[in-house]
Amino acid sequence: MYDLLKGVRVLDLTAVVLGPLATQYLGDFGADVIKVEPPSGDIFRHVRPARSDGMGAGYLNYNRNKRAVSLNLKKDTDREQFMELLADADVLVHNMRPGAAKRLGFDPETIRKAYPGLVYCVAAGYGSNGRNAEHPAYDDIIQAASGVAHLNRNQNDEPRFLPTIICDKVGGMHLAMAVLAGVAHQAKTGEGCVIEAPMFEGLVAFLMSEQLSGETFRPAKGNVGYERLLSPHRKPFPTKDGFVGVLPYNSKHWASFLKFVGRDDLAQADWVQDSAARSENIGKLYAVVAEKMPERTTDDWLEILRGLDIPCTPINSLTDLLADDHLEDVGLFREIDHPTEGALRSIRSPFWIGGVDEYPDAPAPGLAAPDENISWWQGG
């Protein structure tokens, strides 16, 4: 962790993945993140596998560099303790629906009236001004609603979920950016603000920035959908003994590849050398790659393609990543000794920052009762 946000205190009412990922990023940059959980704990604490109750692998991987306290915000005494914490906070983050926030008295109007200098950030499923504002939303729901599942449909035209919580994680990055923007505004003006980072709108914007395509223009110059990404030939290509990811992208890449595989006729073709024309016919070129890849082994192709400076990679499994040479070089995975869970493999922040000191990450916290000292980890 670093200390770029040292002195910024974040009160975190989020749960599961989206919010905790956002506040973990803030903790990685040095913010003092206090995670407020109900007496039963964040529900993600209980997702297996786990070594002990309330400390599941997912929770451990989304909550480093934080402190935690348990409060029942429906009880007056616990609400008073929460408000004491809020009085010293710079940022409040939650992912409640508008109605739930209002019932607890944590709606933006109430909180901002009491704490006008506070940065108030919310990442519910849908924006508060829309008809879906009170609809519940989880990753699967937003994958379905945003077009992700449809875009990932199989050969039978059946929509499929991506096997990763992509919407929660993209939403978490959006929420972290929102908080940082709010903190910058606060530092410049001394004033707070209210920022919404809803999942649905965030994912649609994320997805459609390239997929809007022809519908970008009025009148439209074609349909939605980025043709290169939608080509049936865009895929990991089978080799003689496996698969390889390869992406000739610019004119030089394509000319080098086509000459190597004996297709000089295409290498010099006007439509291949012209970026716009090539884009309109990219499926034809991917078909050539698919035809030629099975002629050699994966290792042979990687050596050849790298020699031609054409982007390429082996197809890694999740297990392969644990032994990846580059990830070992940069130390992404680290062995740590957790104070209650013992020996763990952890994932460090993906950021590297020069010119500032780096400090050891604090492991994901256990759940402290409200009368316990929440500064239980070093640096709290």
| Whole-number pLDDT of residue 378 | 36
The rounded percent of the chain whose pLDDT value lies above 70 is 97
CA angle 356, 362, 363 (to 5 degrees): 145
Q: Rounded CA gap, 338 and 45, in Å?
A: 15
8-state DSSP, 5: T
Same domain, 66 and 136: yes
Q: What was the pLDDT predicted at 195?
A: 97
Q: Quick one: 144 and 189 in the same domain? A: yes
Strands (E), 95-192: 119-122
Q: List the structure tokens of 151.
A: 């875009």
Residue 380: its pLDDT value, please? 39
Sheet holding 193-196, edge to edge: 67-70, 32-37, 9-12, 91-94, 119-122, 193-196
Which positions ≥6 away from 320 have C-beta within 8 Å? 314
Q: Indicate whether 109 belongs to any domain.
A: yes
**Residue type for position 202:** G
Whether residue 49 sits in one domain with residue 107: yes
Residue 17 shares a structural domain with residue 84: yes
- Please say if the pLDDT value at position 275 is more than 80: yes
Regarding whether 296 and 184 lie in a shared domain, the answer is no
Please check whether residues 278 and 335 belong to one and the same domain.
no
Express as a percent the part of the chain with pLDDT over 90.
Answer: 92
The answer to whether the CB of 168 falls within 8 A of the CB of 17 is yes
User: pLDDT digit string (tens) for 59-72?
Assistant: 999 999 999 999 99
Q: What is the CATH number of the domain that holds 68?
A: 3.40.50.10540
* Claim to verify: residue 241 and residue 111 sit in the same structural domain: no
DSSP codes joined into one string, 110-136 = HHHHH-TT-EEEE--SS-TTSTTTTS-
**pLDDT of 205 higher than 60:** yes
CB atoms within 10 A of CB 54: 15
Query: Is residue 218 in some structural domain?
Result: no
The pLDDT mean for the chain works out to 93
CATH, residue 268: 3.30.1540.10
Res. 338: pLDDT tops 60: yes
Residue 377 has pLDDT above 50, yes or no: no
Please give the model's pTM, rounded to 2 decimal places. 0.92
Is 225 in contact with 215 (CB distance < 8 Å)? no
Residue 371 has what pLDDT? Answer: 55
Strand segments, DSSP code E, in 296-377 are: 312-314, 333-338, 342-347
CA torsion sign for 261, 263, 268, 274 is negative
Looking at the structure, do residues 30 and 60 belong to the same domain, yes or no?
yes
69-109 pLDDT tens trace = 999 999 999 999 999 999 999 999 999 999 999 999 999 99
Same-domain pairing of 248 and 187: no
Tally of domains within the chain: 2
Q: What is the pLDDT of residues 113-171, one digit of tens each?
A: 999 999 999 999 999 999 999 999 999 999 999 999 999 999 899 999 999 999 999 99
> What pLDDT was estimated at residue 379?
38
User: Does residue 339 lie within any of the structural domains?
Assistant: yes
Q: pLDDT category, 370, cuts 50, 70, 90?
A: low
Q: Say how far apart CA 311 and CA 304 lie, in whole Å.
A: 11
Asked if residue 172 and residue 33 are part of one domain, the reply reads yes
Q: What is the pLDDT of residue 372?
A: 57
